[in-house]
Chains A and B, each alone.
Chain A
């Protein structure tokens, strides 16, 4: 079975500072990895995804993530945070062998200080 852990429940960062959100997964085969963002009362928006190839993935809104197989991690980064980045972030893992079902981490809430 696949599982995802996001160790940080909350992160507070100053506007303009860098941000890194951690994600660790457990899956026996090569996973598909995703980062989604959710604003309050809204659905999920895909930030980026990793299926194969280059392990450094660029996404929308200036986000990037790096797949590290040896560490079973897929951490999300942004060099300079904007106030509009305050939201809930979810890491997810999927696999065709699992019927393309996604398993989500618990989420990390990002607060941005002015």
Chain B
């Protein structure tokens, strides 16, 4: 149980376009989802916390107009990278927490974004 999927697993796009990444909890309801960014050979950096039905809370230094997060249901959160540039190329990972759960997060497999 507690499986999280991400789609797509890899995406290549041209500079200036927007890319949407989906994060789904497959077998549980997730009131909270988290979005992380990971640079090569680096640790995970939390970008934002997404709560179902409300606006996402962004970490300091993360541009909310660039990284749009929507958490429309208890099983789906999306991250849209708007007007992507090469510096946005990264590995994006989402995680989901169980409703009423004790802080444990279940991670998706990640999405590799390459902006040309």
A107-B104 contact, Cβ under 8 Å, with A41-B112, A42-B110, A101-B34: no
- List residues of A (73-99) whose CB comes within 8 Å of B's CBs: 90, 94-96, 99
- List residues of B (1-47) whose CB comes within 8 Å of A's CBs: 4, 6, 32, 34, 41-44, 46
> Please, which residue of chain B has its CB at the minimum distance from the CB of A95?
B103
B93 contacts the other chain (CB 8 A): yes
A100 contacts the other chain (CB 8 A): yes
The CA of A90 and the CA of B44, in the complex, are separated in Å by 9
Min distance, Cβ B81 to any Cβ of chain A, angstroms: 18
Which B residues lie within 8 Å of A51 (CB)? 102-103
The CA of A59 and the CA of B44, in the complex, are separated in Å by 22
A36-B103 contact, Cβ under 8 Å, with A99-B49, A102-B46: no
Q: Is the CB of A43 within 8 A of B108?
A: yes
The CA of A45 and the CA of B93, in the complex, are separated in Å by 12
Partner of A44, one of B6, B93, B102, B112: B93
Chain B residues at the A interface, C-beta cutoff of 8 Å: 4, 6, 32, 34, 41-44, 46, 49, 57, 91, 93, 95, 97, 102-110, 112
Chain A residues at the B interface, C-beta cutoff of 8 Å: 32, 34, 36, 41-46, 49, 51, 90, 94-96, 99-107, 109
